[in-house]
Amino acid sequence: MRQEDGFTDYDDDDDDDDFSSFFSHFFRQLNAFYRFSRPHTVYGTLIGVTSVSLLPIASLGDLSPDFFVGLIKALVPSILMNIYVVGLNQLYDLQIDKVNKPDLPLASGEFTIETGSTIVSLSCLLSFAIGFTSQSPPLLMALLTSFFLGSAYSIDFPMLRWKKQAFLAAACIVIVRAVVVQLAFFIHIQRYVLGRPIMLTRSVIFATAFMCFFATVIALFKDIPDVDGDKHFGIQSFTVTLGKEKVFWLSIKMLLTAYGATIALGAASPSIPTKLITLFYAEYFLVPFIR
């Protein structure tokens, strides 16, 4: 604010207020988008795709610029497809989320249905556009499978809305997280980035088997906090059918089985580093050590 010839000039203060208001609104929207994308699932995709992409690496020489370009070509469309799947679920679960997850942007009103639909549509289109330009059939297959199962899981049309059926809901998660991610991205790197013949190694077979257990536990565990909303809206999850306690302990037993098998496999390995490392196993980061 300044005074000239007896008049007060508020232009500078108004500009500062507009500038501050713009950035405040921008960061609120950015935070809302971050929550809309369900970051824990994005982290899972980021770590999972990176981990399995390291399995075909035979030597440090394989960590070439071509490898990292191929990895980025896999990661970007996968994360975009991830946003499509979780965003679509929020669009169709709006009333359920008002009970189970009221802080999500659509349920809280921070995002309109139109905004959510735009984000979901653009994420899907960009994902497929990048997938087609990659010229990698396994990568494109992974995107198509994720699109189909993610859509079937959420869309409330006849023969769809698979999340209402416990077995189909779990199958969607297991097929994508345990099978598609492991096999498709392994072959993408092995054949279409490193240029080697397709051959499933001990490590990728182990990763697929282990993640079948782990993804099943994810499918079971994720419904435990949502039981009230699911029950009210007729979602027959395993938690609704069996009860929280039974699902919890079933999940724990499955994890113990998976980790116990991992320790046994590591201990039986002829490699000393594998023996030591897999005793303190962290599934995604350490899968590449299983040889």
Residue 246 included in any domain: yes
- Dihedral angle, C-alpha 274, 179, 85, 41, nearest 10 °: -10
pLDDT digits (tens, 9 = 90+) for 246-259: 878 887 877 778 77
- 236: tokens are 């027959």
The reported pLDDT for the residue numbered 281 is 39
User: Minimal CA–CA distance to 95: which of 83, 106, 110, 81?
Assistant: 106
Residue 1 included in any domain: no
Could you list the pLDDT tens digit for every one of the 291 residues in the chain?
Answer: 555 555 555 566 666 667 678 778 888 899 999 999 999 889 989 988 998 999 999 888 899 999 999 999 999 999 999 999 999 999 999 998 888 889 999 999 999 999 999 999 999 999 999 999 988 999 999 999 999 999 999 998 888 888 888 788 888 888 888 888 899 999 999 999 999 999 988 888 888 888 888 778 877 777 777 676 766 667 767 777 777 778 788 878 777 787 777 667 666 666 655 554 556 435 555 455 445
Residue 72 included in any domain: yes
The reported pLDDT for the residue numbered 8 is 56
Residue 5 included in any domain: no
Residue 4 included in any domain: no
Count the domains in the chain.
1
Residue 215 included in any domain: yes
Residue 53 included in any domain: yes
Q: What is the CATH number of the domain that holds 184?
A: 1.10.600
Q: Structural domain of residue 215, as residue ranges?
A: 14-289
The reported pLDDT for the residue numbered 75 is 96
Handedness of CA 117, 119, 120, 125 (dihedral sign): positive
Residue 20 included in any domain: yes
The reported pLDDT for the residue numbered 289 is 46
